[in-house]
Structure 1
């Protein structure tokens, strides 16, 4: 693989002859076309591909959250790459004939900000999901203005809903009103706090399942 600043007609993407052009991490690159292999994938390779597919499909809808709040960009490992690696390693298990996500191990954020203290969740009617917690503003770097970040997922319908500003830390309570198509569905959810300037964030907490009413 090589990098270049100017091609004959400037940077390009896609296949041209025997090379492929692309932009990777802000650099224009060229690489040769891969050779077609004749080997069949082993059972282990097929399982790994299936595992990757399940995790990637689960995480992709919440990439905007992961890209903000999961770890820190370090070298070649973006936040989204770190999230993918973590979930491949820790949050998926094989249940014949496929892989399934372990919701209690899923994390939407990983950071050093003081987290949520003693959170609870209930379905509150009118498509609402209500979260309560203890206000721990002033401890460490926790501030009253820290914003509650919520991700809700309905496995049966593969529906997602998230909100970056569901409430403040000092409010000690927030009710999320879901779209009407969530009515009657069991949902899983995860919550975390992020500072108002989004520079600091806490490791998320799994809140379990409730049925939207």
Structure 2
């Protein structure tokens, strides 16, 4: 791998002949194409690839939320990349020959803003989830104008619903309306708070499994 400042046509990205151009940690680099391995992948390597694919399928649909509210960008690592890394390490388990998400460890946001106090979730008729919480405005950096966000994941249909700007912290309750095709299904639910200017966000709360009615 080598660093370059000026090429014939300037910096480039992608494959050109036997080399690849890329930007790594703010530097333009070129490297030779990797040689294809003739060795069969080990069982450990296959499991790691399966784990990566499994977590990616879960995390990718949540990209619009994770990309805005998961931690703070570090160097060339995006928030989405940090979210994928976190869930790979902390929120997945291998049970009875297959990978499973550990839902209580899943996070839809991660930050220093004061989180949701005493959250509760109950199912209401028509596929609605009723949320309540205590107003802890004034504690630490919490403000009454902080906005609630939420994610609901359907464990049977493997689909996610994201909710932005649901309610203000001071309102103490809100309803999440799920689509009709989810009626009767079990879902997982997470909520969090984001500051009005979206510069601060809390680490999310897991509200458990809820059966829609």
TM-score (norm 2): 0.91
Deviations 1:57-84 (A, max 9, x none): 1111112211221121122333222222
TM-score (norm 1): 0.91
Match of 2:170 in 1: 170
Deviations 1:117-151 (A, max 9, x none): 11010111222111110111111111111000101
Q: Judge which range, 15-24 or 167-176, deviates more.
A: 15-24
Q: Hey, what's the Cα distance between the residues in 2 that align with 1:166 and 1:10?
A: 47
Match of 2:155 in 1: 155
Q: Hey, what's the Cα distance between the residues in 2 that align with 1:134 and 1:10?
A: 56
Question: How many residues were matched structurally?
Answer: 213
Unpaired runs of 5+ in structure 1?
none
Match of 2:71 in 1: 71
Deviations 1:69-127 (A, max 9, x none): 11211223332222222211111110132211010111111111111111010111222
Structure 1 residues 64, 28: CA separation in 2 closer, same or farther (over 3 Å shift)? Answer: farther
CA contact (8 A) 1:50 1:98 kept: no
Q: Hey, what's the Cα distance between the residues in 2 that align with 1:32 and 1:98?
A: 36
Unpaired runs of 5+ in structure 2?
none
Shift of 1:46: 1.3
Structure 1 residues 178, 7: CA separation in 2 closer, same or farther (over 3 Å shift)? Answer: farther
Q: Hey, what's the Cα distance between the residues in 1 that align with 2:149 and 2:27?
A: 33
Q: Hey, what's the Cα distance between the residues in 2 that align with 1:21 and 1:161?
A: 38
Match of 1:46 in 2: 46
Superposition RMSD on alpha carbons, in Å? 1.9
